[in-house]
Amino acid sequence: MYTIIDIETTGNGIKGNKITEISIFKYDGHQIVDEFTSLVNPQSPIPYFITGLTGIDDQMVQNAPIFQEIAGTIQRITVGCVFVAHSVNFDYGVIKEEFRQIGIDFTRKKLCTVRLSRKLIPGLHSYSLGKLCTAVEIPLVDRHRARGDAHATVLLFEKLLRQPDSEPVFKKFLNARSQEATLPPHLPKSVFDKIPQKPGIYYFMNQKGEVIYVGKAINLKKRVLGHFYDKKRKEIQMCGETVNIDFKLTGSELVALLMESAEIKRLFPNYNRAQKRTGKHYAIFSYEDRNGIMHIAYNTNKGVPNPLKIFHNQTECRAYLEEVCKSFSLCPRYCHLQQTSAACSHHEINTCEGICRNMESVDNYNKKVGEAVAHMKMLHSEVRVIKEKGRNDTESAVILIADGTYKGFGFIDTDIEISTLDDVEAFISPQKNTVETESILAQYFLKHNMSQVLTL
């Protein structure tokens, strides 16, 4: 038994997206056996552009039931049935969220008529409901109203059921473990199948060929699949727009991080928010207090005359400082990770050797601080080359840092010796040094074995 469903909404993303109209047709594989259609009061304003699309305005829904009043009917008509919709993850996600907000868990098996159509009626230019119905000669009346779209989806679903070889396709998509059932509706499985389980960066692209998201991963296929399972509003919306995925291998996570940062700056994708923000930068610095104890602290970059490290947000800055504190057995109190005048009692860092309890000499503590400061200044001296795994067994990745500045990365055959700056520069793809790249490299030098770093 199937319930073929369409909803109209206020269009404010999954969590803020409230239903304004719902239509459900219960279908037994041969005929419609039940129907429920209703306007719904979203208890929030309907935007003008939504009214322009659907014709539903605030006045129309003023006296309509709220979702909680029809929730029982929706449960009754859909229980034990497969939830069917065109781009099912959208309709299912909105309805599931509406139920969640009234304290009810709504779970149904799902089928997507977009993905079924791509499989059983291949070769069409577009699989939007309107163009698909035109292509297969299905009448579609009251477009962008729930009942009109839902009834057209019933006719489409019936046609899909009657297609040759429909039975194994339906069984495959109904299998909860079927990977294909989780893919975005407009993404061909052949595209996903080409993605390797290797380190690299990936690009989500929309119907116009525009890159809408850039990401990095140690395992590209696993990370990309993670987006499809994620039910956050942004992820569902982004995956719904994705029609193609491209990728580049990097060989290592470090090169992937650097390449991802550069591509976000170059392409400015719509769904990459973190590195597009231009908020405050934070810097780490050191100073000596009146008791002769050296402190390591952080502040906004503008308030630091000689920064040791700069980060593009406070969270990364503090996380790095915590790693420094642990690595060099420093005191959280004197690293300004704990605002207290008493002995330190940080919830995670327990490597303090007692400077805050007069159990460690000032000279010994300051020596450790000096080592930490020298470590943070390390990039600002010699020319350094980081060697990482390449994209295959015959090459290595190299990252060049000169005069305290990240210069770029490249790939070099393993049988080529590196002994001078010229040897490296011939293979380097020049890149911009940014706050993000400085943060990436600072984290790398803190956590990795320096045997991988050559000094030229």
- As a whole number of angstroms, the distance between CA 4 and CA 173 comes to 16
Whether 336 shows a pLDDT value over 70: the answer reads yes
In whole angstroms, what separates CA 50 from the centre of its chain?
27
Q: Which residues of 31-61 are buried (b: 16+ CB within 10 A; e: fewer)?
A: eeeebbebbbbbeeebeeebeeebebeeebb
Helix (H) or strand (E) holding 223: helix 220-229
pLDDT, mean of residues 196-216: 95
Q: Is the pLDDT of residue 103 over 80?
A: yes
Q: Tell me the mean pLDDT in the region 136-164.
A: 92
Q: CA-to-CA distance for 87 and 240, rounded, in angstroms?
A: 8
User: Average pLDDT in the 419-447 region?
Assistant: 83
Mean pLDDT, the chain, whole residue set: 88
Residue with the bigger pLDDT between 455 and 166: it is 166
Would the pTM count as exceeding 0.75? no
- Is 284 in contact with 271 (CB distance < 8 Å)? no
pLDDT digits (tens, 9 = 90+) for 252-269: 999 999 999 999 989 999
- Kindly list the structural domains of the chain, giving each domain's residue range(s) and its CATH number in brackets, ordered by start: 2-181 (3.30.420.10), 189-276 (3.40.1440.10), 282-376 (no CATH), 380-455 (no CATH)
For residues 211 and 260, is the Cβ–Cβ distance under 8 A?
no
d(CA 249, CA 237): 26
The answer to whether 99 touches 91, Cβ cutoff 8 Å, is no
Which of 49-63, 96-110, 309-323 bottoms out in mean pLDDT, i.e. has the lowest? 309-323
Instruction: Inform me whether the pLDDT recorded for 353 exceeds 80.
Output: yes
Instruction: Assign 200 a pLDDT band (cuts: 50, 70, 90).
Output: very high
Answer whether residue 275 shows pLDDT above 60.
no
What percent of the chain lies above the pLDDT cut of 90?
Answer: 54
Count of Cβ atoms closer than 10 Å to residue 257 Cβ: 21
Confidence of residue 189 (pLDDT cuts 50, 70, 90): confident
CA distances to 29, 97, 148, 396 from 151, rounded to whole Å, are 14, 24, 5, 58
C-alpha to C-alpha distances, 179 to 87, 174, 220, 238, nearest whole angstrom: 16, 11, 15, 18
State mean pLDDT over 40-52.
91
With a cut of 90, say whether residue 249 has pLDDT above it: yes
Question: Highest-confidence range of 12-16, 301-305, 390-394, by mean pLDDT?
Answer: 390-394
Alpha-carbon span 407 to 432, nearest angstrom: 7
Q: What is the mean pLDDT of residues 362-379?
A: 87
Helices marked H in 46-179: 48-54, 58-61, 67-78, 88-101, 113-120, 129-135, 146-161, 166-174
pLDDT at residue 297, as a whole number: 93
Asked if pLDDT for residue 15 goes beyond 80, the answer is no
Residue-level pLDDT at 12:
66
Q: At a CB cut-off of 8 Å and minimum separation 6, what does 271 contact? A: 204, 212, 213, 234, 238
Token digits for 209? Answer: 């060929």
Interstrand relation of 294-300 and 244-249 (parallel, antiparallel or unpaired):
unpaired
Q: Check if the beta carbon of residue 77 is closer than 8 Å to that of residue 28.
A: no
Confidence of residue 374 (pLDDT cuts 50, 70, 90): confident
* Lowest-confidence pick of 51-60, 179-188, 347-356: 179-188
Task: Examine the pLDDT at 279 and tell me if it is beyond 70.
Answer: no
